[in-house]
């Protein structure tokens, strides 16, 4: 196999899957080298298809992707579409550190697709995504990076589960506190009820100079003034 297209394929899959979590991703990951392992790698330069098969593991900085099969297609405009799939009970999984905080975004599904042109990531069947302490689970999860909107459904491909089905969308949303909001940012100055910043406290006045004993007035004299 020609090594040039093979390395281009590796860079392509890393770029596509990294873009799938770009809204949260550790920015430094973009400059990290790609390490990938698979039982089989094939590249079709004519059809612009790259395929990684067999216990695929990709590592790029804090980004880790594990799947049984990853396929990358590139259209005539250069946009790429990546599809990671599991096998049997094994799901496709990813994990990556969030930018600026000591938290991770991770997810899994039977199939994970990312469309670079639409900037959209979709999770199909047994889908689960967790960001920090918040998590959501359903049969289908779609994330639009342009609008930063989620869609989660209890049925496959964006549909609702059939009546009587036990499939439900489940979410755990943790309350935000001041520590979470200010994490990674300098503390904000307190404000008054009118919304104006409270002025910083004045520095203490210098202590008065000591007087000689003969210069200190008697208590009776001070009272009479």
The pLDDT tens digits of the residues spanning 28-69 come to 777 778 788 899 999 898 988 989 999 998 888 888 889 999
- Residue 86: the pLDDT is 94
Assess whether pLDDT exceeds 60 at residue 184. no
The pLDDT tens digits of the residues spanning 13-25 come to 444 444 445 445 5
pLDDT tier, 90 (very low <50, low <70, confident <90, very high otherwise): very high
Assess whether pLDDT exceeds 70 at residue 82. yes
| Closest to 143 (Cα-Cα) out of 103, 172, 109, 184 | 109
- HEC assignment per residue over the chain: CCHHHHHHHHHHHHHHHHHCCCCCECHHHHHCCEEEECCEEEEECCCCEEEEEEEEEEEECCEEEEEEEEEEEECCCCCEEEEEECECCECEEEEEEECCCCCEEEEEECEEEEECCCCEEEEEEEEEEEECCEEEEEEEEEEECCCCEEEEECCHHHCCCCCCCCCCCEEECCCCCHHHHHCCCCCCCCECCCCCECCCCCCCCCCCCCCCHHHCCCHHHHHHC
| Closest to 23 (Cα-Cα) out of 183, 176, 149, 180 | 149
Mean pLDDT of all residues in 124-128: 94
pLDDT tier, 182 (very low <50, low <70, confident <90, very high otherwise): very low
- Residue 77: the pLDDT is 86
- What share of the chain in percent tops pLDDT 90? 24
Write down the residue that tokens 């989620």 correspond to: 150
- Residue 12: the pLDDT is 43
pLDDT tier, 118 (very low <50, low <70, confident <90, very high otherwise): confident
Contacts 24+ apart (CB under 8 A), 107-110: 107/141, 109/141, 110/85, 110/86
| Closest to 11 (Cα-Cα) out of 27, 28, 25, 32 | 32
Rounded CA-CA distance 126/139 in Å is 5
> What's the pTM value of the predicted model, to 2 decimals?
0.65
Q: Are 34 and 12 in contact (CB under 8 A)?
A: no
Domains and CATH numbers, the chain: 3-183 (2.60.450.10)
- Residue 8: the pLDDT is 38
| Closest to 112 (Cα-Cα) out of 16, 7, 11, 32 | 16
Higher pLDDT, 2 or 92: 92
CA 19 to chain centre: 11
The pLDDT tens digits of the residues spanning 186-216 come to 556 666 656 666 666 666 555 555 444 444 4
């Amino acid at each position: 196999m020609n090594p040039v297209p093979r390395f281009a394929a590796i860079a392509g899959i890393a770029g596509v899957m990294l873009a799938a979590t770009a809204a949260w991703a550790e920015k430094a990951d973009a400059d990290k080298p790609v390490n990938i392992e698979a039982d089989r790698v094939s590249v079709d330069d004519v059809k612009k298809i790259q395929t990684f098969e067999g216990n695929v593991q990709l590592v790029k900085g804090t980004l880790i992707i594990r799947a049984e099969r990853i396929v990358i297609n590139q259209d005539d405009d250069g946009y790429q579409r990546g599809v990671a799939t599991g096998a049997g009970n094994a799901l496709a999984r990813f994990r990556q550190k969030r930018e600026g905080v000591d938290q991770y975004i991770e997810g899994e599904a039977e199939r994970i697709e990312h469309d670079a042109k639409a900037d959209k990531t979709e999770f199909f069947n047994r889908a689960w995504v967790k960001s920090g302490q918040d998590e959501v689970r359903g049969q289908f999860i779609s994330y639009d990076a342009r609008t930063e909107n989620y869609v989660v459904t209890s049925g496959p491909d964006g549909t609702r589960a059939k009546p009587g089905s036990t499939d439900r969308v489940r979410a755990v949303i943790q309350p935000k506190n001041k520590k979470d909001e200010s994490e990674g940012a300098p503390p904000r100055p307190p404000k008054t009820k009118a919304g104006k910043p409270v002025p910083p406290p004045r520095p203490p006045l210098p202590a008065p100079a000591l007087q000689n004993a003969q210069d200190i007035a008697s208590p009776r004299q001070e009272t009479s003034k």
